[in-house]
Structure 1
């Protein structure tokens, strides 16, 4: 079935729609047409006589007209015509249920093909590199060796023998089969900062030759290297696991390993359309509330004024090879290293052109980009982008090419490489006027070891661009914010990073210039073990400026240039006075040495309170700003609350659960089935995913493990998930559990002891024991939402948080109020008029700009999942809200 958590946004989008107001030069001439699966295409298009296809509707519309699409699945390519600036065309879900534009077609006529296979004769029209097959609405894996699990970001690799050479693999474990014509996917070399593919030319037992890749050696060759990872795909010889498929292009035949009991009752579809919604030649069109399945959406270089709102796109891009980009795609002269830009321009949801917008959308499951924004003056805001970039080139969550774009309030999670990136090979070196702000970037660098969640390369001129108020954390790379190889004029400020490896921010001169780069008022926390901010390797660092930075490690810059870099007013300490560094709450507490200790910087320290600006990203006494989107699914990490761990071998396992990615627990002996690690969370938590971070040293990654849970540490569930594969971080996904204890048990042998740098848990919604930021509420009524806190709530106004995990008996709210009497905030469960869990009498704080934490005991202890509503009572100006939390006394 389709992933459970992906249906959340679809359900939200299916809420009853408000009447659509068409915008036309003459509103009296605007028409609204209806489309429904039960309609016919020569009908009138009225509510009682709808059209059958979206295409039929779009063939009739004129500027100012609207297509309202009723619930159902539409297997067609949608190509809207253009509206005008004053009279856009609208294509919108009607609001009576999900509307899905499906890029696949059913495959039927399955027959026995021998050797345990079935086959169907079918013509897949795409380039074979872009084929995709779905079994029972789940992605089916192309046949491969070695077999891997369902998660392409947690893949299983073969390891070549050290005698391998460039374009040749020796592997005594390679099955004896004819692999000629298969694709070999490589992640190899001394420092494999990208992956590559080639084609097998000859095979003999335990050996194969291939051609392709970029021939760059080192770091991307085989042989006696630190990494010799590879797998084979695209060969009928690899079909040995239920659900695997192989397409014989010459015979137009699709082969499949059937499910255990045969094909009866199962459905198979195959991808037929790359662009389910093709706006490549369209301008002034609004697309609202559509779902995409197995296909994507694009605007074109000439598109203007397109608004894409509430898109829910799943499995948007699939490909099996990483070819060198054609010279015509490159902005600078080609050389072999440009293979890292493979597939950037032909994957993802693509917002190209000028003045277009993607907002309030969930984009997931892509071999390449999540979103490509390219052109001038486009906006990407309030989107949830996850599980993308698994093929291992430089395709990120959001790829930004061009100038004057606005990329804000996005949550980007689980990416193969960067969360946000720009590729100079296809962008060129000009990167002017871009605003990248209030984005939350986590779980990046799943298929690379050299990079960061925010990454720019190379020789870029960032004049006029601002990278500010972003959070970067829990990543498998080296750095939180990385401005690489000769880039200059980048302004970073008020950014936050923790658990990013060696550095918080890195400006890499790399034996060249790194001019006029700045980092101001940033905060760095645990899991940064090299420098908080570093500018190094530059032959010329003129005009660079690092100030008002707080972190555990030094702030330093190469002493080269005229004028020399400025490094001052920074606080380097392991006790900066953060609220909760392990959970990323790096705002200051009373008495911190960072308060009023900073310097004034024009345009940067604009919210200073007290006698001087504070050092760091959060001004003490001001509302605490937050990052990321406010859609369902945007808040998922379970709060770390003093967990403890016990290893079956008796070793001290505290480093596995201290919340610091740079500390490590190592088992006492080589991996054998049955070795275990038991974690006590201290209280019950609700979660459905466990991430085991084994760091960037591949030798200690578990070869296989299972996860079970318990409420008392004695009685255990069965195995909720079985995980195999070797990657920096491995994820176990299972139905949501409410438990206090978690046990990880090895299920396979390995040559080295297993290691754990960090364990993280994730739920289906926010953890209410963490601070629930008011500006990230999933529902708001009667009050304006800002980048930090809300406006003043009046009686009856409310904010709500969908499906929060609640464990505790005390409510704390940070608020500001001038109400002297009879004002209160009610905490209600599951509905705005649901049961009252607590009533917090509001005490005046002196002004609506003076913030104070106020608390009340709940009527009863709460545990489990609830939608939480905070409802104002008592007058027209009750309180402004910053955040709330539900915790233990």
Structure 2
């Protein structure tokens, strides 16, 4: 399987582990003090009968955790460890530490190898095996990639790009009519439904009977409308878990009665192939542990959890893959619900039993890469926990309310995370599971994108319902490129949310929505937010029986606002910069929504206590960015956190003739649509204007429920004439479809349909992504992977002295060398001889540009300075901006490399 994930090289993982691993003989206490303790060593070549010394390491992590006491460390050499690890507790100031040694990746693998395959007839092989997990939580891996449980219709390898069948309108609540249904007995299969007038959640049921072109099922949430099968706007479904659906290599079926596993073998048979099955749900199980540090480890086919009584747990540098797997969406248990059970609670299915789980009090997850989960990415529950600088992606594909990050409880800090490619929300609070108050949380500097892949009624940041968020701040976040209806959605009578300095673009119909939903919407506020293209209403308040305390001010938008509802006092909406005024954004097409000189937003804001801080000029600015201050950014600084390729004014043409520029204009709410039904051979050709480097293409059909293709190929060309073989073939019918391939550098891209369809092809936006930042984009200093000689802030570095630097990994230059380096900096009193050098591949690597540093008038006075590159730069490089010449040279806000 070709994964949709960014891959970090073994060398990069080893380097990260080496930087974070505890030193031999010490364990680092979370308070910053070092507690001397004993160090045990673990290696796959060791023996659990040995002492655990450096020369005589143990074989298993579990044996090491049997031996450690508070203050002790397990240093683990590279390798795969197939075991369940449950460390004992340490003490405050003397944690038990499990750390990668630093010589390569350390993986706790929750799978076991399955052997004994024999011919089972009908093109299948089978083996007898007792899989320990529940039937609907089994997972199989073929040659290191996720194998698809037998399903109909067949789908590609990307679970966030599923193929759906569409039932006939004659279907009813528990009955499906579809003449395309496959032959064979489908009784007992799971039917996965995404159906209804406005299906805000998915659901599953069990097939009870089948006949020619029809089936009956039991279960699901048959509440009509909006969630039901029948004569509805949406009638999507697929079947999984029946032997009769096995028809393509890699598909499997487990007969729980016979304890027999069936598989469609790869072409050529099983020789040379490895199959593993999931055995451990919690490979790193800290449910009974406190004061434990887990540093630089990985989990595969399993997950990590802390417990409700855990405290003082630090998890850093975790790399997690395939953390949760399930094929059904059962109703949450009654004891998991904070309010009386009801069928509407199907939306919260699996929220509490999936993902990496940080429960308890005072625990931290940071600097981690978490991807591939049928459910939640990270569950945060309890109080006073911290989730920061993590990359969370490709999760929630089963389509319930399982998000990238689920937040329950109070006093949490959720900052500087990048959450990308989620079935529904990026960050969510589940009202049904809210059992404790939701207060005093800080949710800030997060980058949330490509959400709502398997739903429409929702948002990247979603709140539901009836929450009192007193003391909670949602600030300095960015939401963009999502297929739902809203950016920040405060739904169903939730109150006391303070939103400020947030950014939204390409989020559908609304930027922020306070939805009273026939109830109250009290004390919700939105100040100094910025709304870009792809938003039809900047802020909306509707449906509230009482909107007392609503306050919207200092916002900047390209769209109007809609605020209605009674209140005492009535909602306050004032001092916002709205159409027809031009806010003079720097580059709206690429989400750079900070104001340029002459913007009417400058100094035009009102003072809002606790919100309008760091004022420059005669008063606060309107919008999320203060002109003259450093430009803050969102998201993490790990590999994969920054990958969208800059759109410099791409062009698109349709094979049938005519301009298709609406597909590449950077505005997700504009749509290009063909004038005839889909047919194999139809194509869109993109001219990027210059050669770009990329490894993923996304074709986004926006809110359109019909216009996405049934299949397509992607080809690339440097000159627009020689194309070669396609670099990717894509199946599936999701609203946004991704093609993933090895890194390519090209100026031209062609998307060609491979199948006919009964409606015209529609595209709202085509986006490209790389494995690292685009050199032509704005490289924000606070997102640099390496900062030396100056502190990293939320919007810039401190002043760098000679030898200080910022470094960015794997920057893509394409095949056309940029002409100029531009740096936004601040400097005071450096004198002559100060400079910023642009070096490649190493802090001491070759110099390609030297930018003299001149006094800008102060260490907080920012100016843009440029210099021509001394030599051509193409391809992909690590980039370092190195200060030279004095003890205090300059602070750096951002840099670009463009013509």
Q: Pick from 863, 870, 878 the counterpart of residue 859 of structure 1.
A: 870
Q: Pick from 481, 485, 507 the counterpart of residue 492 of structure 2.
A: 485
Aligned mates of 2:483, 2:778 — CA distance in 1: 25
Matched, 1:552 2:558: yes
Q: Pick from 67, 72, 81 the counterpart of residue 79 of structure 2.
A: 72
Aligned mates of 1:18, 1:260 — CA distance in 2: 46
- More deviation in 550-559 or 862-871? 550-559
Matched, 1:820 2:821: no
Q: Give the match for residue 280 of structure 1.
A: 287
Residue 175 of structure 1: how far off its partner (Å): 1.1
Residue 536 of structure 1: how far off its partner (Å): 1.2
Q: Give the match for residue 228 of structure 2.
A: 221
Residue 428 of structure 1: how far off its partner (Å): 3.8
Asked whether the 8 Å contact 1:69–1:93 carries over to 2, the reply is: yes
Q: Give the match for residue 239 of structure 1.
A: 246
Taking only aligned residues, the RMSD between alpha carbons, in angstroms, comes to 1.3
Aligned mates of 1:27, 1:149 — CA distance in 2: 50
Q: Pick from 735, 742, 745 the counterpart of residue 735 of structure 1.
A: 742
Aligned mates of 1:417, 1:5 — CA distance in 2: 20
After the TM superposition, which residues 249-398 of structure 1 pair with which residues of structure 2 at under 5 Å, given as runs? Answer: 249-398=256-405
Q: Pick from 13, 18, 25 the counterpart of residue 15 of structure 1.
A: 18
Q: Pick from 836, 848, 851 the counterpart of residue 837 of structure 1.
A: 848
Residue 773 of structure 1: how far off its partner (Å): 0.2
Give SS of 1:698's match. coil
Asked whether the 8 Å contact 1:550–1:573 carries over to 2, the reply is: no
Give SS of 1:509's match. strand
Which string of whole-angstrom CA distances, capped at 9 and with x for unpartnered residues, describes residues 374-410 of structure 1? Answer: 0000000000000000000000000000000000000
Aligned mates of 2:114, 2:302 — CA distance in 1: 17
After the TM superposition, which residues 411-450 of structure 1 pair with which residues of structure 2 at under 5 Å, given as runs? Answer: 411-428=418-435, 430-450=437-457
Matched, 1:811 2:821: yes
Aligned mates of 2:405, 2:661 — CA distance in 1: 36
Q: 1:29 to 1:626 in 2, by over 3 A?
A: closer
Aligned mates of 2:762, 2:249 — CA distance in 1: 31
Aligned mates of 2:557, 2:778 — CA distance in 1: 22
Q: Give the match for residue 884 of structure 2.
A: 873
Which string of whole-angstrom CA distances, capped at 9 and with x for unpartnered residues, describes residues 561-592 of structure 1? Answer: 10111100100036211000110000010000
Asked whether the 8 Å contact 1:214–1:324 carries over to 2, the reply is: no
- More deviation in 425-434 or 488-497? 425-434
Q: Give the match for residue 190 of structure 2.
A: 183
Q: Give the match for residue 106 of structure 2.
A: 99
Asked whether the 8 Å contact 1:809–1:862 carries over to 2, the reply is: no
Q: Pick from 791, 797, 804 the counterpart of residue 804 of structure 2.
A: 797
Q: Give the match for residue 564 of structure 1.
A: 570
Q: Give the match for residue 130 of structure 1.
A: 137
Residue 652 of structure 1: how far off its partner (Å): 2.5
Which string of whole-angstrom CA distances, capped at 9 and with x for unpartnered residues, describes residues 436-473 of structure 1? Answer: 00000000000001000000001110100000000000
Aligned mates of 1:479, 1:536 — CA distance in 2: 14
Which string of whole-angstrom CA distances, capped at 9 and with x for unpartnered residues, describes residues 697-754 of structure 1? Answer: 2121111111001011111131111112111100011111100000011100000110
Matched, 1:678 2:678: no
Asked whether the 8 Å contact 1:651–1:667 carries over to 2, the reply is: no
Asked whether the 8 Å contact 2:15–2:102 carries over to 1, the reply is: no
Give SS of 2:432's match. helix
Residue 555 of structure 1: how far off its partner (Å): 2.5
Give SS of 1:148's match. coil
After the TM superposition, which residues 565-644 of structure 1 pair with which residues of structure 2 at under 5 Å, given as runs? Answer: 565-573=571-579, 575-644=582-651
Residue 218 of structure 1: how far off its partner (Å): 1.3
Deviant stretches of 4+, over 4 Å = 1-4, 23-29
Give SS of 1:850's match. strand
Aligned mates of 1:92, 1:702 — CA distance in 2: 47
Give SS of 1:734's match. strand
Matched, 1:5 2:9: no
Unaligned runs of 5+ residues in structure 1 are none
Q: Give the match for residue 715 of structure 1.
A: 722
Aligned mates of 2:693, 2:391 — CA distance in 1: 21
Asked whether the 8 Å contact 1:23–1:30 carries over to 2, the reply is: no
Aligned mates of 2:833, 2:334 — CA distance in 1: 70
Give SS of 1:719's match. coil
Give SS of 1:451's match. coil
Residue 221 of structure 1: how far off its partner (Å): 1.0
Residue 12 of structure 1: how far off its partner (Å): 3.8
Give SS of 2:8's match. helix
Residue 835 of structure 1: how far off its partner (Å): 1.1
Aligned mates of 1:103, 1:875 — CA distance in 2: 53
Aligned mates of 1:170, 1:624 — CA distance in 2: 55
Aligned mates of 2:112, 2:740 — CA distance in 1: 29
Aligned mates of 1:544, 1:388 — CA distance in 2: 34
Aligned mates of 1:429, 1:694 — CA distance in 2: 39
Aligned mates of 1:28, 1:284 — CA distance in 2: 13
Matched, 1:649 2:644: no
Aligned mates of 2:513, 2:552 — CA distance in 1: 11
Unaligned runs of 5+ residues in structure 2 are none
Give SS of 1:112's match. strand
Asked whether the 8 Å contact 1:428–1:460 carries over to 2, the reply is: no
Q: Give the match for residue 538 of structure 1.
A: 544
Residue 250 of structure 1: how far off its partner (Å): 1.2
Asked whether the 8 Å contact 2:465–2:493 carries over to 1, the reply is: yes
Aligned mates of 2:819, 2:597 — CA distance in 1: 25
Matched, 1:885 2:885: no
- More deviation in 568-577 or 93-102? 568-577
Q: Pick from 790, 797, 811 the counterpart of residue 783 of structure 1.
A: 790
Q: 1:18 to 1:822 in 2, by over 3 A?
A: farther
Which string of whole-angstrom CA distances, capped at 9 and with x for unpartnered residues, describes residues 667-711 of structure 1? Answer: 110011001110100011000110000121212111111100101
Aligned mates of 2:638, 2:278 — CA distance in 1: 28
Aligned mates of 1:658, 1:12 — CA distance in 2: 39
Asked whether the 8 Å contact 1:429–1:459 carries over to 2, the reply is: no
Aligned mates of 2:122, 2:16 — CA distance in 1: 45
Give SS of 2:18's match. coil
Which string of whole-angstrom CA distances, capped at 9 and with x for unpartnered residues, describes residues 230-286 of structure 1? Answer: 000000001000000101111111111011111111100000000000000000000
Asked whether the 8 Å contact 1:679–1:742 carries over to 2, the reply is: yes
Residue 424 of structure 1: how far off its partner (Å): 0.7
Aligned mates of 2:7, 2:744 — CA distance in 1: 18
Asked whether the 8 Å contact 1:437–1:470 carries over to 2, the reply is: yes
Asked whether the 8 Å contact 2:538–2:557 carries over to 1, the reply is: yes
Aligned mates of 1:27, 1:614 — CA distance in 2: 45
Aligned mates of 1:27, 1:645 — CA distance in 2: 59
Q: Give the match for residue 776 of structure 2.
A: 769
Q: 1:273 to 1:624 in 2, by over 3 A?
A: same
Aligned mates of 1:577, 1:501 — CA distance in 2: 22
Residue 429 of structure 1: how far off its partner (Å): 7.2
- More deviation in 608-617 or 647-656? 647-656
Aligned mates of 1:569, 1:428 — CA distance in 2: 38
Aligned mates of 2:688, 2:664 — CA distance in 1: 9
Q: Give the match for residue 122 of structure 2.
A: 115
Give SS of 1:246's match. strand
Residue 430 of structure 1: how far off its partner (Å): 2.6
